[in-house]
Amino acid sequence: MQLIGQTKIDFIGKRKYAYVLSGILVILGIVSLAIIFLGQADLSIDFSGGTMIRGNFDQPVSVGDVRSALAKDGYQDASIQQVFGSVQNMFLVRVGIATSGSGEETEAHKIISVFEREFPTNRFTLDSVQEVGPTIGKELQRQAGVAMIIALIGILIYIMIRFDFRFSVAAIISTFHDVLAVLGIMFILQREISLLVLSALLTLIGYSLQDKVVVFDRIRENLKMFRKKGDFVDAINLSINQVLSRTLVTQLNAIICILVILFVCGPVVRDFALALAFGLLIGTYSSIFVASTLVAEWELRSPKRFK
């Protein structure tokens, strides 16, 4: 199936525009990452530790009223989020690690008691409680970083074995570009950084690598036909144009599936689907305008006969 016919686009010639866009995305991602490490980002309790309760009121109530009720009882820093879905008037309430009391388990009971006192005619029905201690939160942060590093090292080794060092470096940089871009977008959208978002980023690494391997493989095949020194860029442009339709069709199918998850499966996996949807779009862009152009840039600056 072909979404578009054979094209003759000079992708490498337009690489400077791509560098500007990628630069903005990477800077946004780096800033977001720095804010996360400083502890100023909206981290889920998976990473920050604390208590999260999920439940719904029988009657409509505003986020402001819920926040005011909790603030009266000392929960000024509580995060309140209204969840829109099949259940009406549902809220997620997150509080940090308790500095006093008998532990996080009582925090859920305290919050429910606040609701019962402040909204006596509006019953609050508890749906779920999640508790993560500070030690577990720190350990999950460490494991998340290790998982990301292992994935990137695996990509480096795989591409180096299958292609060569230039391609492996381009794959690593472009994949890191994808992760930073998605992280930055999720931060701008004020989405919570959770284990689901991390899972989406790790899934994105796999999708992104698959797309880049297809492009790199076609470049390698076409380079066998281009023997002159100045034909390296032509070979890359030809390769991208040849796989463009296939790439767009594959990613479009995947995005449609992700959109179904985003709009049908409810708020529980919404952040996962949202991060993956943005990741697929950015991964497609980077396979065309980042990974391949980095290989071309390397060749233009340090020519090397490809065998």
Percent of the chain having pLDDT more than 70?
83
Q: How confident is the model at residue 180 (pLDDT cuts 50, 70, 90)?
A: very high
Looking at mean pLDDT, say which of 5-14, 78-87, 216-225, 285-294 comes out highest: 285-294
pLDDT at 65 over 50: yes
Mean pLDDT of 67-87: 77
Confidence (pLDDT) at 193:
81
Mean pLDDT of 278-288: 90
Cα–Cα distance, 45 to 141 (Å, whole number)? 11
Confidence (pLDDT) at 100:
47
Pairing of the two strands 79-83 and 90-95:
antiparallel
Residue 19: CA count within 13 A, CB half-sphere: 8
Confidence (pLDDT) at 5:
63
pLDDT at 174 over 80: yes
Confidence (pLDDT) at 105:
47
pLDDT at 113 over 80: yes
Confidence (pLDDT) at 104:
43
Confidence (pLDDT) at 103:
47
CB 275 within 8 A of CB 197: yes
Instruction: Please name the residues in contact with 184: beta carbons below 8 A apart, sequence gap of 6 or more.
Output: 25, 28, 29, 31, 32
Mean pLDDT of 60-85: 82
The DSSP letter of residue 288 is I
pLDDT at 37 over 60: yes
Instruction: Please name the residues in contact with 179: beta carbons below 8 A apart, sequence gap of 6 or more.
Output: 29, 148, 201, 204, 205
Residue 175, H or E segment: helix 165-188
Cα–Cα distance, 255 to 186 (Å, whole number)? 17
Instruction: Please name the residues in contact with 57: beta carbons below 8 A apart, sequence gap of 6 or more.
Output: 89, 91, 115, 119, 122, 123, 124, 125
- To the nearest 10°, the Cα dihedral for 3, 6, 12, 17? -40
**Mean pLDDT, rounded, of the chain:** 81
Decide: residue 233, CB within 10 A, 0-12 exposed, 13-18 middle, 19+ buried: buried
Query: 224 in helix, strand or coil?
Result: coil
Q: How many CB atoms lie within 10 A of CB 242?
A: 17
**CA 234 to the chain's CA centroid:** 33
Confidence (pLDDT) at 22:
92
